[in-house]
Amino acid sequence: MKPYLIVKRLFDFFFACILIVITSPIMFAATIAIKFGSRGPILFRQNRPGKHGRIFTVLKFRTMSLERDLRGDLLPDIERITRVGSFLRKSSIDELPQLINVLKGEMSFIGPRPLLVQYLKVYTPEQARRHEVTPGISGWAQVNGRNTISWEKKFEYDVWYVDSICLRMDLKIIFKTIKNVLIRDGINNSQNATMPVFNGNQMESK
């Protein structure tokens, strides 16, 4: 293990503790807004693969309603985003519960974003290298386009980060993340509320 990764984990734990305290009023306000904005749980929980593909439960504030069509199927994502949820996404407040994931060591502040478990079986060996490090709340792909770039480019950025991980790179990503949040850059791609599903060489919309 690189010495920096040990220091990185210590920084993650220390700053996660501090930020949970600092952002607790924001998280409390978000909880109230979600509770009264639409029916459903406050938090969105979903299994995601972490370092070395180990599965953990990622936490986010729920930004979508649970509305269904006449057949009982959930409506498309873009139709279910609530007004509160839209604000939480644009401000990145929906990501704050992941501080708990960071505290537990399941995530880092900086690293490739944890994606869906189903993608594990369709990655190329090169793309799968993104799991050589702990996933992050923000990463090199997020500050270089987030949902506005292709899956191929996103994975290229992720693997590049794995090969280049260091304090200087993490600090650069942190500053770019803050800048992007302030100008609300790269929140969603032009056609979808979320990225299209990744199916290896072929992609289709959710």
Tokens encoding 34: 């979600």
pLDDT reported for residue 184? 66
pLDDT reported for residue 185? 61
Q: How large a percentage of the chain has pLDDT more than 70?
A: 91
Query: Any idea which of 24-33, 128-137, 188-197 has the lowest mean pLDDT?
Result: 188-197
pLDDT reported for residue 200? 80
Q: Are strands 108-110 and 202-204 parallel, antiparallel or unpaired?
A: unpaired
Phi, psi (rounded to 5 degrees) for 88: -60, -40
Buried b (16+ CB within 10 A) or exposed e, 168-198: eebeebeebbeebbeeeebbbbeeebbbeeb
pLDDT reported for residue 189? 42
pLDDT at 205 over 60: no
Q: What is the pLDDT of residues 124-150, one digit of tens each?
A: 999 999 999 999 999 999 999 877 888
Q: What is the pLDDT of residues 36-93, one digit of tens each?
A: 988 899 999 999 999 999 999 999 999 998 888 778 788 887 888 899 999 999 888 9
Q: Which DSSP category does 76 fall into?
A: P
